[in-house]
Structure 1
């Protein structure tokens, strides 16, 4: 199988014979091809690699008549050399990301059945093959192949620059001039160009730094970069250049200054030039002035140190993660539940939080580990986060208060920045604490992002990175460095995206200003991270002792806010059924307190005689407008302050029952039917379900005079109420209703009876004077409605007809039998 691959890639045969050790490596890669059978379909690259994936549908639109030059890799996903080369090609895509307006990278998998015709059309015979397509290529162009190209990023980058310089007209419109400049051009530069900075890079003829920096600054405005060779004596002498390479900033009028960098290399030049005042990425708005941010009244800007970590960001991230992001999952089960348990466990172990927060996280972890069911509800978990069990000295502050992660706009940075900060802090604390599992934190992060992180495209990119290399992490320090390197990879991918904050551009972190010792160069001048210095920097930067607690409430305030929240929630829960039942009772009261019609009043006068006339006169004088005026008072009573729950007493319940019952006249009087109300209520079930003592707090305070122990002179004049006997005796409650005029006692005498009356709602002594007929008819009318009466009439009629039919039937039978016995 190795021979077959060697024949297919004949250009590599000589290398295999020269370096026998590579045979072993190649054999291993080819053996792994069986594992990558599923990858053959998806290819070796993904969209997160910043490489354009070609297909038969888009290949023509991308390669033909393109305004940018294209570099295309034709590969086969089963080829070992292609698999080994893929990381280099991905690194190249990240390295020249800023060159995209002038040159872009693409790839196509020729092993895929649907792509074979495309690869054949471009005359591909071996893998991998890299071809360069000039801008505005014709449809019949097959590109220029890179012969014997190097297998490192630097060599490929230089090869691309060579191809760009040989570009014929038309020149790629986005590509700046790459040829060396002269004294004459520099003297007239500002007359023809409206820019703020001109950078001159002095170098030797064989150096690529000037051209690389020129392309690196391609996407930035207010700056231009020109290459000056050491042979341009006039400029070299004028500026006093003695070192090559070196960079000078040239301004109108012949003013100039040297650009100070740690190391005279491409990466340091590019970074320093991109951070000059006024230099912004093309198409991006300029950074918002700090003065404007500070004066923003919607959310005031919090001054902070960019080189420090703030606890406010960490706690804000926890709040959003656990109370907002997780809340999207009403039920958490299966892998998601396992992920949550691991996530909370890691937080409880390694989160560098304050004592109250750590107590809450440990409590949540303990609760989750005890859950043996295969699913939990988020509401139950939310109760744990809110500490409903009142665990002492445990709380997770609510709300977000971004400091180091705040952005110049409300939609920039914030939670994503906080997530990275929390993850870095966890890996560092695990390394400091001596965890026994190197991938414990990374595994919990990966699982959480996969199951819960709201940005699904971000979660997919993170999963691709983890699947690619997280298995290589075998120590705690390598876990810290793995997360740091992947964070920088994400920064590279998102640089220039709409999500980038102009005030906080995406850079390779830490910057040379923050950690000069973290940056160095290789022998060939390429940038290299100084890992022995990067790890101590990360350990110091994210250590718990370095985290600032500015802009935070102290722990006492956090606990007090939690107690107030619990008290308010309990009061709200107590008031919720009360308010609901009160509203229902109010609806009944309002529909039950309508005035009787003229016909009903006339019938009552005929039936009750002079006594009713007296009551009617009294009602006409002062009581006719009472129901209409009582409604606002009743509404005000239901809006009583929550701090007065004790006023919902049995007196209120009896008063409301009495009000409802006052208009509940007997439905059958003198064997004559009268029109009844439509809103019939079964008092037995209604009282048992709705008329609880606390449900009617002040519902009838304006309709029923409260029972009191005041003296006679302290009591205000008001309508007197008697106890209605119409309520079902089985309810065990008595209602108050206005007494008829003929049964009223003297006012003074009545007040004495009120004072002597027991507060539990016993009968008035005057109630015994009610006529036996009225009491009896009231009892008969309990619970009867139109439907009840109609059913009774129908049943009575049907039973009568049935008895009549039976009577006629047996009468005829008897007559026939008698007739038969008459014959001999």
Structure 2
């Protein structure tokens, strides 16, 4: 024992202890065991219980050559004694959670067929059986049985300490020294160990408080804890110690001061020592304690009162919950939809929000009640953003953390806000005399199960609810259940990477915040005074205690919402305009259809030019209209053919009335000119006019002597002088126009057929592809021609040789 203790107090061992405390070995085994949780969780324990779950695959890697001592429970899930002992074992795991790198807890279900052989190898004959395995246990070690162990946490804790002190040479490297310190060792202590604080716990010889506090601060730096027995008269006299136990802080030079605590007990000592200046958890940066500072999120630090709840945190939680977490589910149906309806319904009933926020929650609740078997988040988002612009309805967009702010952007914040929101809802349900004690807890449980982003956290919460939710039968028990489970989570996450050094995970409320909430049992163990805790929770989370600091004004929130809606509408209009431009740009490569306005004007002109004498033409148009109605929607090219056919019919009709009565036909000339200007260029029109004149000469029709004019010029002259020209000249010009119209009709038909052929040939091909095909076709023709000439020449030479022979 003395040799073991001397090794533990050496400088080398101290340094090793500090090094190992930064990397808990048992945590590595915990991660390794997560691979086999599915089989192990079928027993009495789960991963949420801070107990290593063993199986036949993991038992040897965990127990053999471990740097920490282990206590293993061999149990059978069908055993009644094991079932009644399981809550004690879970509580023990939570009680000594800070001891993990020195001693850890594990369990294996011997009722599992796969584990039966393992339990037989370790000579387990009854359940439950507890065995202690020393650090660096060898293969084949059977462990030391706890014979006649007590069924209370304190007795088990003391038994574990006794087993730890029974270690021989292979002391757990992370375990601090547990033996008492003498006055001689104390005088040279600061020469060998450099720490900021040395805590001396004076106690009786049979007390375990000093050793328990030493293990409680195992993972903390800048502090060392030593126990001093009451028999160390020199130190007791020097410091004037009269009470046992009591704690004193000792500094170099012989300076000392008594540690002030409410009750001289283990929990109060541990809490006070962890809050000393410079004392930080191993591997964690020191907390920044300033009234005003900036965090890494580029947001100004908001000073706040840690004993109050802020509405800004609650509204930020709603924003993140409804706009961020739910957005991960494009379609919400089934159990998730029922969970969402329960969640919104509870918020409408018990959330103590501002009028604009409550109006929005009521709108969402009404919409969900009218929904069918599924809803899309896109529709829900429209309700949350109040796209209907209902008056005095809005949920602030964005987060503004106050009491839940953190030193780093990935710490606290939303999880803190969720816990705060749930506590507020349970207290509000109590104050509003809800008829269902589980209403709020069920809504929370279903929401976390369906939507909470941290799936492992959701699993842990579900395990806690499944284990003890049936205990809730009153509104008071609902408030207390949530509080106790929150403390259990804090205990499990203490020291985790997610812990903010500025806001360590503690058992809440702390002794500083609510001294009367803490008391001790007759044996010295800590006990919560529930008679004081419940009134404290009602006061802390009451709606009247929620501070409105740092909130945006309602007018500002509504104005931002209106601006957001206006910006969205403007963006939609811009998208529509952009789409129209793209469609118009894409239609340039397609055959240009005649505009609807032009087509309507042409039809009106045809109707105006119809006279009572043109009954045959009218009947033909009527038949054409009936035929068109029987067909499907015409393509742009079919519309062009119909327009050309109507012009042709109109031209024939005019021939029948030229000799009867002279009429000015400005509409006809204007119509032809508009058609030409829309579909052809001036140069093409000139070429067409020349061809018309050649055709008219070939038909031996008399041409009017004079300069040859372009078609556009002829039309302009005809438009201005038609009433002053002789009859035969006007008839000749009309014939030219008819010939020109026929030519354009033929050209349009040929052009239409050519383009139709090209469109058929180019289906799925680009212009580059068609060009390459034409080039390859040309090259193949040239190749064939070359081959033909080669063989023809070869045949000619052969004939010459034959003739010579």
Q: TM-score, normalised by structure 2?
A: 0.72
1:40–1:77 CA contact under 8 A, matched in 2: no
Listed as ranges, the matches of 1:791-806 within 5 Å are none
Q: 1:573 to 1:66 in 2, by over 3 A?
A: same
**1:756 maps to which residue?**
none
Q: Determine helix, strand or coil for the equivalent of 1:236.
A: helix
1:411-448 alpha-carbon deviations (Å, 9 max, x no partner): 11111111111111110110111100000000000011
Asked if residue 485 in structure 1 is aligned to residue 453 in structure 2, the reply is no
Asked if residue 423 in structure 1 is aligned to residue 373 in structure 2, the reply is no
Listed as ranges, the matches of 1:50-449 within 5 Å are 50-288=50-288, 290=290, 293-294=293-294, 298-371=298-371, 373-449=372-448
Q: Determine helix, strand or coil for the equivalent of 2:752.
A: coil
Distance in 2 of aligned mates of 1:239 and 1:375: 73
Q: 1:653 to 1:109 in 2, by over 3 A?
A: farther
Q: Determine helix, strand or coil for the equivalent of 2:309.
A: coil
Q: Determine helix, strand or coil for the equivalent of 1:138.
A: coil
2:41–2:47 CA contact under 8 A, matched in 1: no
- Post-superposition shift, 1:723? 7.6
1:622-678 alpha-carbon deviations (Å, 9 max, x no partner): xxxxxxxxxxxxxxxxxxxxxxxxxxx999999xxxxxxxxxxxxxxxxxxxxxxxx
Higher RCO (C-alpha 8 Å, min separation 6):
2
Distance in 2 of aligned mates of 1:336 and 1:386: 22
Distance in 2 of aligned mates of 1:355 and 1:791: 63
1:98–1:215 CA contact under 8 A, matched in 2: yes
2:220–2:280 CA contact under 8 A, matched in 1: yes
1:726–1:779 CA contact under 8 A, matched in 2: no
1:324-351 alpha-carbon deviations (Å, 9 max, x no partner): 1111111111111111111100011001
Pair member with larger Rg: 2
Q: 1:125 to 1:308 in 2, by over 3 A?
A: same
1:788-807 alpha-carbon deviations (Å, 9 max, x no partner): 367999xxxxxxxxxxxxxx
- Post-superposition shift, 1:287? 2.5
Q: Determine helix, strand or coil for the equivalent of 2:214.
A: helix
2:201–2:225 CA contact under 8 A, matched in 1: yes
Distance in 2 of aligned mates of 1:227 and 1:88: 28
Listed as ranges, the matches of 1:301-700 within 5 Å are 301-371=301-371, 373-586=372-585, 683=636
Q: 1:261 to 1:788 in 2, by over 3 A?
A: same
Distance in 2 of aligned mates of 1:278 and 1:792: 83
Q: 1:570 to 1:168 in 2, by over 3 A?
A: same
Q: 1:726 to 1:277 in 2, by over 3 A?
A: farther
Q: 1:44 to 1:771 in 2, by over 3 A?
A: same
- Post-superposition shift, 1:787? 3.9
Gaps of 5+ in 2: 1-37, 601-633, 641-671, 687-709, 714-733, 762-805
Q: Determine helix, strand or coil for the equivalent of 2:340.
A: helix
2:407–2:500 CA contact under 8 A, matched in 1: yes
Distance in 1 of aligned mates of 2:303 and 2:183: 46
Distance in 1 of aligned mates of 2:739 and 2:221: 102
1:40–1:111 CA contact under 8 A, matched in 2: no
Q: 1:115 to 1:726 in 2, by over 3 A?
A: farther
1:724–1:737 CA contact under 8 A, matched in 2: no
Q: 1:116 to 1:789 in 2, by over 3 A?
A: closer
**1:788 maps to which residue?**
756
2:202–2:246 CA contact under 8 A, matched in 1: yes
1:393-424 alpha-carbon deviations (Å, 9 max, x no partner): 11111111111111111111111111111111
1:200–1:225 CA contact under 8 A, matched in 2: yes
Q: 1:584 to 1:173 in 2, by over 3 A?
A: same
Gaps of 5+ in 1: 1-37, 594-648, 655-680, 688-721, 728-733, 746-767, 794-824
- Post-superposition shift, 1:786? 2.7
Aligned residues: 614
1:200–1:227 CA contact under 8 A, matched in 2: yes
**2:667 maps to which residue?**
none
2:64–2:138 CA contact under 8 A, matched in 1: yes
Asked if residue 725 in structure 1 is aligned to residue 725 in structure 2, the reply is no
Q: Determine helix, strand or coil for the equivalent of 1:105.
A: strand
1:106-165 alpha-carbon deviations (Å, 9 max, x no partner): 111111111111111111111111111111122222111111111111110011111111
Distance in 1 of aligned mates of 2:170 and 2:74: 26
- Post-superposition shift, 1:592? 11
- Post-superposition shift, 1:286? 2.4
- Post-superposition shift, 1:169? 1.2
1:524-544 alpha-carbon deviations (Å, 9 max, x no partner): 111111111111111111111
- Post-superposition shift, 1:191? 0.9
Distance in 1 of aligned mates of 2:409 and 2:520: 38
Q: 1:737 to 1:496 in 2, by over 3 A?
A: farther
Q: Determine helix, strand or coil for the equivalent of 1:157.
A: helix
Distance in 2 of aligned mates of 1:150 and 1:484: 29
1:723–1:737 CA contact under 8 A, matched in 2: no
Distance in 2 of aligned mates of 1:791 and 1:358: 61
Q: 1:279 to 1:685 in 2, by over 3 A?
A: farther
- Post-superposition shift, 1:71? 0.5
1:83-126 alpha-carbon deviations (Å, 9 max, x no partner): 00000000000000000111000111111111111111111111
1:39–1:77 CA contact under 8 A, matched in 2: no
1:15-35 alpha-carbon deviations (Å, 9 max, x no partner): xxxxxxxxxxxxxxxxxxxxx
Distance in 2 of aligned mates of 1:792 and 1:520: 92
Q: 1:578 to 1:204 in 2, by over 3 A?
A: same
Distance in 1 of aligned mates of 2:474 and 2:186: 54
1:724–1:736 CA contact under 8 A, matched in 2: no
Distance in 2 of aligned mates of 1:686 and 1:330: 45
Distance in 1 of aligned mates of 2:260 and 2:589: 84
1:69–1:104 CA contact under 8 A, matched in 2: yes
Q: TM-score, normalised by structure 1?
A: 0.70
**RMSD of the TM alignment (CA)?**
3.3
1:179-208 alpha-carbon deviations (Å, 9 max, x no partner): 111111111111111211111111111111
Q: 1:724 to 1:116 in 2, by over 3 A?
A: same
